[in-house]
Amino acid sequence: PAIGFTSPIKATASNVYHTNMAEHGPQEAFDGNPSTRWATDSGTKQVWIARDLEKATTVARVRINEAIGERVKKFELQYREGETWKTIFAGEKIGRAFTKTFPPVTAREFRLNILDATDGPTIAEIEFLEK
């Protein structure tokens, strides 16, 4: 089952399209609604979006859906250990239906760190799953 569809969603991002938090804030990528999205400013190449699950949670799979095209060209999925972000895996393409299973990681915070994109990334959904 998907983790963390609780309200309010605690999420942060390094950039939000025109600073419009209500319509394009990071919480929109975690709300379980594929018609909403987190969006970034045009021309953004490097950006991150993080989710605070509010308690240590074991995650072993992620699903990510880009809302528009395949803008992401290089990324890392990370978790926070103390003050350090540690990479679970890295990839080169997300697109509309990215899914990856990995050895279970228990942490409170996870983030998608986008290292390169063709234009401002926009993500419809990020789901963390137990298996």
Give the helix/strand (H/E) hosting 90: strand 84-91
Distance CA 11, CA 15 (A): 12
Is the pLDDT assigned to residue 11 strictly greater than 90?
Answer: yes
pTM assigned to the model: 0.94
pLDDT at 2: 65
pLDDT at 8: 83
Is the pLDDT assigned to residue 82 strictly greater than 90?
Answer: yes
